[in-house]
Amino acid sequence: MTTSLFALPPALQNNPLLTFGRGIAAYSEVKPEHIAPAIQFLLGHAQTAVDAATDPKTPSSWDALAEPLEDATEALGRSWGVISHLNSVADTPELRAAYGEMLPEVTAFFSSLGQNLALYKKFKELKNSPDFAKLNRAQQKVIENSLRDFRLGGAELSDADKPRFSTIQDEQAILGKAFSDHVLDATDGFVHLVTNKADLAGLPEDAIAAAADTAQQKHLEGWAFTLHFPSYYPVMQYSENRELRRLMYQAYVTRSSDLAPEYGKGKLAWDNAQNMLDQLRLRDEEARMLGFANYAALSLAPKMANTVDEVDLFLTNFAIKSKPFAQKDWQELCEYAKAELGFIDGLEPWDIPFAAERLKQARYSFSENELKQYFPLPKVLNGLFQVIQTLFGVKIEAADLPTWHADVQSFAVKDLAGKIRAYFYLDPYARPGKRGGAWMDDARGRRELANGEIQIPIAYLVCNFAPPVKVDGVLRQPTITHDDVITLFHESGHGLHHLLTQVSALGVSGINGVEWDAVELPSQFMENFCWEWEVLEKMTAHAQTGKPLPRELFEKILAAKNFQNGLATLRQIVMSLTDWRLHSRFDAKAAKGHAVLDVSRNIADQYNIIPQPEISRWINSFSHIFAGGYAAGYYSYKWAEVLSADAYSAFEEAAKLTGSVLDAKTGTRYREEILEVGGSRPAAESFKAFRGREPSIDALLRHGGLA
């Protein structure tokens, strides 16, 4: 269905942000000039629904109160979601400006919704009415979550405080967008041209071809390297040109900082130092207005963890357990680099990935680039789909949905009877104007409509793999690294959580309403299959020969699985602790200049093994916590890893009996108790229903070689 949900005035009848109704947007038709008229119309429509809901004559019931409000806010949220998505994957100056123009108005509306005392009273009346007991569990959870969110949204604040609270929300939204824009601009703005092929020694053929391709696109002669990860990281891993590695590293770690003009061809206008301080001050003020000691405490209100100290202790204990393994990793790396690579004066930061890759090759006799040749993306996708189909009793087939770029693919998820349960998009490759990293997002949620029909869910899976390149005029099928394979499985886990839900109340279907520190459980769970022979054997085919991954090479990558994992784990914990301490112990009000950077340095000095270089400004591009919703929540990755490793151990236990980790019986239980229930019950209950007990850290330590 792709007709509007509303009667539209003539001027808006061809606006693609208003005409897709409950269907799928025509992404390629959305223009910057469509944004303001559509969003202003939808804001007006949503406000009318709020006014009707708060009318004293409106009954405090699900049908009269909750559902009409959900209809109106969903329409606004979905159109705004299309715009936000395009802003992330197809950024242009015009789109960015149009998005930025409406962002404060959208933020202000949702902020006012959370503070609406009349609406809050209506929801409280519904909660306390006899009708509440007649609602299903998912609907009850929506009401309970709504009451919590009203309290967190400032509904109980005085009329004198509410305007300031709204301003805080607006300013945070604007600052978060600016932070993200600065990182993207700094990443897009750097190009390093190499004109002498001898300077490319050590780089894999596909990295050289990609650099030639980039140069051609930019009308340059030679090989162009950027700070987009698929271009940047092969240089750090393989380039024998130490000067090239140094130049790229310095540009990368100074993005969006005061040092960017010196090292990264950046602009001082993109420096995020003050932006971070401003965001931290606003978050602290918001928390205190709501009666919390700090923003970390506020962030825990809708999470699994209970107290600020509990999270701090979890992270510091993890750091203590990891540190001896990290020290051993670092010592091995330094000794190898000195003895075999001639780094007599020690390793510089730009030498570390290079030395680690060489040590890995020496110890396990394979290189990441050699391994990469066995992972053509189409074959990997097929293997991923086979895992999903075997475990969860569904079929995945190609679809033909409207897209925003020629590289984007779409798929239908069907049950075994052929009925469509969901759709999803895959946007696999890095390109200019596309935000870095990988993520899953919700394009449409599952819900039961007023007429009894089920609206099926749609998800975006976005990655930034190296795109296919032409070699000698021939376009090669894209191959991805094993790390990329893990990323793809990770994001598909989020996707499955959203797509396989059987909950019909939008607020808690799929990933909606799931505690933030448990939302990574399904994604990290899926990563485990990337280390199983029965899975890899079927999803590999050498790019030239077509032969599957040899068992001998698999045994090597398995042996290398936890290579340098002590250092990698400690790095994640240092990032998590930096986030946590900034939101729990940092005096943002009194802080100035590089105070945020100083916190990160102090934590690194206390817990990390590798010294943080003087020029590093990594935190200035830490988008997860300053633009990506993980503020006082980055610890969630490690917290959820405990849950996901323990959940996966159920499949390992099944394999001892059945001979396969792809055990459909265990997969069905996991689907029913974790994936299908979404946020309709607490994550702790879902985990216990699946595992039969409380979670244990033992499996994670064992999987990570830290036991």
Task: Please write the tens of the pLDDT for every residue from 615-624.
Answer: 999 999 999 9
**Residue 473, φ and ψ in degrees, nearest 5:** 80, 0
* Residue 24 to residue 96: CA distance in whole angstroms: 22
pLDDT of res. 1: 41
> What would the two tokens of residue 662 be?
């792809």
- From 357, 491, 532, 676, active-site residue: 491
**Torsion sign, CA atoms 196, 202, 205, 208:** negative
Active site residue 491: yes
Closest CA relative to residue 91, chosen from 232, 192, 185, 210: 185
Place of tokens 């005035």: 9
pLDDT of res. 492: 98
pLDDT of res. 612: 87
**Torsion sign, CA atoms 625, 630, 633, 639:** negative
* Burial grade of 312 (CB within 10 A; 0-12, 13-18, 19 or more): middle
pLDDT of res. 6: 81
Tell me which residues of the chain have a pLDDT lower than 70: 1-3
Q: Are strands 409-415 and 447-448 parallel, antiparallel or unpaired?
A: unpaired
* Residue 346 to residue 348: CA distance in whole angstroms: 7
pLDDT of res. 2: 53
Residues 6+ apart with CB under 8 A from 134: none
Provide the whole-model pTM.
0.85
* DSSP secondary structure of 213-252: HHHHHTT-SSEEEESSHHHHHHHHHH---HHHHHHHHHHH
Report the helix count and the strand count for the chain, using DSSP H and E: 27, 11
Closest CA relative to residue 620, chosen from 268, 362, 343, 331: 268
Q: What mean pLDDT is reported for the chain?
A: 95
Residues 6+ apart with CB under 8 A from 457: 422, 423, 442, 444, 445, 446, 498, 499, 501, 509, 510
